[in-house]
């Protein structure tokens, strides 16, 4: 029987690994490490670093593969993502068949946690034949962001909403909450909001040696975040950031 273990590894700091994650890494017969092109080679290197630090099982093999690229030009966003997930599932299946076969335990190291704005679970269910799926939770970027700012996420007895930059840009401030967590923002969606009364806590490369954090009134700190974000993207070739917005009277 084939078991696919999706292991949450936090945001890049090996110190964020749970004991359960370390056990699952060492229980794997095969660990697959995706390569996302030269611009994001840091992500593969961090996975290699984690394996080098915690993998003590000499029988565990590591195989790297090139991750299919999503067609960003597809006007139908949902269809484009669906086709991309099919391509990734086919690549996973091919790598598993090549390096492991039809039985054993294969692991993928998932940035953050597999349950939050990550598609690994949806992709895993497209494999044919379907494997048994094991999930090991990890520290999310939301937790890392709150920790970096020493910030409690929710106000007492109040809800918060987790959304994407695209949804914030298209729909504006969500009704029914004064706290919004924004992930997967390819740009700076906070610039589309009326800044009066808004406070932002922003972070990039959370948990990594290049971590950057800023906070303050949105009207005041927004230009600094935009400039820092552009400089960091230019320096690294990629950026992974998230932020929390709170509406104050």
pLDDT of residue 150: 98
- pLDDT of the residue at 247: 95
Helices (H), 160-217: 165-171
Q: How far apart are the first and last CA of the chain?
A: 57
Higher per-residue pLDDT: 152 or 71 = 152
Q: Supply the pLDDT for residue 36.
A: 82
The residue-averaged pLDDT of 76-95 equals 92
Categorize the per-residue pLDDT at 69 as very low, low, confident or very high, splitting at 50, 70 and 90: confident
Strands 212-217 and 198-204: antiparallel
**Mean pLDDT, the chain, whole residue set:** 94
155 and 248 in contact (C-beta within 8 Å)?
no
Q: How far apart are CA 6 and CA 76, in angstroms?
A: 29
Chain segment 6-50, per-residue pLDDT in tens? 999 998 788 999 999 999 999 999 999 999 877 677 889 999 999
Sign of CA dihedral 67, 91, 118, 164: positive
pLDDT, one tens digit per residue, over 142-184 is: 999 999 999 999 999 999 999 999 999 999 999 999 999 999 9
User: Would you place residue 196 in the very low, low, confident or very high pLDDT band (cuts 50, 70, 90)?
Assistant: very high
pLDDT at residue 249 greater than cutoff 80: no
Domain residue extents for the chain: 2-139, 142-247
Q: How confident is the model at residue 71 (pLDDT cuts 50, 70, 90)?
A: confident
Which class is 142-247 in CATH? alpha beta
pLDDT cut 70: percent of the chain above it? 98
Residue 80 has pLDDT above 80, yes or no: yes
pLDDT, residue 223, reads: 97
Proportion of the chain above pLDDT 90, given as a percent: 83
Q: What is the pLDDT of residue 102?
A: 92
- The residues near 142 (Cβ < 8 Å, ≥ 6 apart) are 116, 153, 162, 181, 183, 242, 244
pLDDT of residue 39: 63
Taking CA atoms, 128 is separated from 34, 90, 97, 114, 244, in Å, by: 20, 9, 11, 20, 39
According to the model, what pLDDT value does residue 144 have?
A: 96
> Which CATH superfamily, name and number, covers 2-139?
Tetrapyrrole methylase, N-terminal domain (3.40.1010.10)
Residue 160 sits at φ, ψ, to 5 deg, of -140, 160
Give the mean model confidence (pLDDT) for residues 102-110. 97
pLDDT at position 248 is: 83
pLDDT in tens, 200-212: 999 999 988 899 9
Tell me which residue has tokens 């359960």: 20
Strand pairing partners for 61? 30
């Amino acid at each position: 029987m084939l078991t696919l273990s999706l292991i949450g590894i936090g945001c890049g700091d090996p110190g964020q690994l749970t004991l359960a994650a370390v056990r699952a890494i060492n229980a794997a017969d095969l660990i697959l490490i995706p390569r996302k092109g030269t611009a994001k080679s840091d992500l593969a290197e961090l996975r290699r670093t984690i394996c080098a630090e915690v993998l003590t099982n000499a029988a565990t093999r590591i195989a790297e593969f090139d991750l299919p690229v999503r067609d960003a030009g597809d006007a139908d966003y949902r269809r484009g993502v669906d086709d991309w997930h099919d391509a990734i599932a086919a690549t996973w299946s091919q790598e598993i068949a090549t390096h492991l076969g039809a039985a054993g335990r294969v692991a993928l190291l998932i940035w953050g946690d597999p349950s939050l704005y990550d598609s690994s679970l949806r992709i895993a269910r497209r494999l044919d034949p379907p494997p048994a799926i094991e999930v090991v939770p990890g520290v999310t970027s939301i937790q890392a962001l709150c920790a970096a700012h020493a910030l409690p996420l929710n106000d007492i007895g109040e809800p918060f909403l987790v959304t994407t930059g695209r949804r914030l840009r298209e729909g504006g401030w969500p009704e029914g909450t004064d706290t919004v967590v924004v992930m997967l923002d390819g740009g700076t969606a906070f610039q589309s909001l009326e800044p009066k009364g808004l406070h932002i806590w922003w972070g990039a490369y959370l948990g990594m040696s290049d971590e950057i954090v800023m906070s303050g009134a949105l009207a005041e700190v927004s230009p600094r975040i935009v400039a820092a974000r552009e400089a960091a993207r230019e320096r690294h070739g990629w950026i992974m950031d998230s932020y929390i917005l709170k509406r104050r009277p």
